[in-house]
């Protein structure tokens, strides 16, 4: 098994992402996480609260304490703030004011491995798994 996976890695090397711009481009051609998970967060992040920033009209109240992005709690989730076509070209229309779960989602871990939830989400939409690694450029 080890030999087989080694051969597979050699014949299909991962695409290397080296900086934030590469991550941005990767996500702008994917977008499935915004159409898979319920995006919920403390209601105080919405503009209904003093100091809140997520446009409240794009959210729904789940209970006393939690809100979620509209569209993300339906049976086929799609965040209302997502524009474009999945797997082609997407954009978050509230990027500067997106809620904490979107800010805190790590696309890559400290070892440069892709978050497994990305390919789990892609599989749900019938997309091929991404074969990418984050290897930052070394500065001289
Ligand atoms: S699923 Fe992963 S790769 Fe795709 S848009 Fe979300 S964070 Fe980016
Ligand atoms: S707020 Fe933006 S980043 Fe967060 S799920 Fe919606 S479209 Fe995606």
From residue 126, alpha-carbon distances to 14, 87, 95 in Å are: 20, 10, 26
Helix count (H) and strand count (E) of the chain?
A: 4, 7
Any atom of ligand 2 within 6 Å of the Cβ of 80: no
Q: Spell out the residues 6+ positions from residue 39 whose beta carbon is closer than 8 angstroms to its own.
A: 68, 69, 72, 79, 99, 101, 102
Q: Does the residue 56 lie in any domain?
A: no
Cβ pair 95, 55 in contact under 8 A: no
Q: Does the residue 92 lie in any domain?
A: yes
Place of tokens 């993300």: 72
Burial class (CB in 10 A: 0-12, 13-18, 19+), 105: middle
Q: Does the residue 47 lie in any domain?
A: no
User: What total of structural domains would you count in the chain?
Assistant: 1
Any atom of ligand 1 within 6 Å of the Cβ of 58: no
Q: Does the residue 59 lie in any domain?
A: no
Q: Does the residue 88 lie in any domain?
A: yes
Closest atom of ligand 2 to CA, residue 58: 1
Q: Does the residue 49 lie in any domain?
A: no
Q: What is the mean pLDDT of residues 126-137?
A: 95
Pocket test for ligand 1, best of 31, 102, 108, 114 (most atoms within 8 A of CB): 31
What is the Å distance from ligand 1's center to 50 Cα?
31
Range of the domain at 126: 16-38+76-134
Q: What is the pLDDT of residues 66-107, one digit of tens each?
A: 999 999 999 999 999 999 999 999 999 999 999 999 999 999
What is the Å distance from ligand 2's center to 13 Cα?
30
Q: What is the pLDDT of residues 1-46, one digit of tens each?
A: 444 444 444 568 999 999 999 999 999 999 999 999 999 999 999 9
Residue among 130, 40, 124, 127 at smallest CA distance from 76: 124
Closest atom of ligand 1 to CA, residue 122: 1
Cβ pair 135, 16 in contact under 8 A: yes
Any atom of ligand 2 within 6 Å of the Cβ of 69: yes
């Amino acid at each position: 098994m080890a030999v087989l996976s080694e051969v597979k890695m050699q014949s299909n090397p991962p695409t290397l992402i080296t900086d934030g711009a590469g991550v941005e481009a990767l996500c702008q051609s994917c977008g499935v996480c915004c159409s898979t998970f319920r995006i919920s967060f403390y209601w105080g992040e919405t503009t209904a609260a003093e100091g809140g920033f997520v446009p409240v009209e794009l959210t729904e109240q789940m209970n006393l304490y939690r809100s979620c992005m509209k569209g993300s709690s339906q049976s086929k989730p799609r965040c209302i703030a997502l524009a474009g076509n999945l797997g082609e070209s997407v954009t978050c229309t509230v990027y500067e004011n997106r809620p904490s779960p979107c800010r805190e989602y790590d696309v890559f871990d400290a070892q440069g491995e892709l978050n497994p939830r990305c390919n789990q989400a892609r599989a749900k939409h019938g997309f091929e798994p991404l074969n990418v690694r984050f290897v930052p450029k070394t500065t001289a």
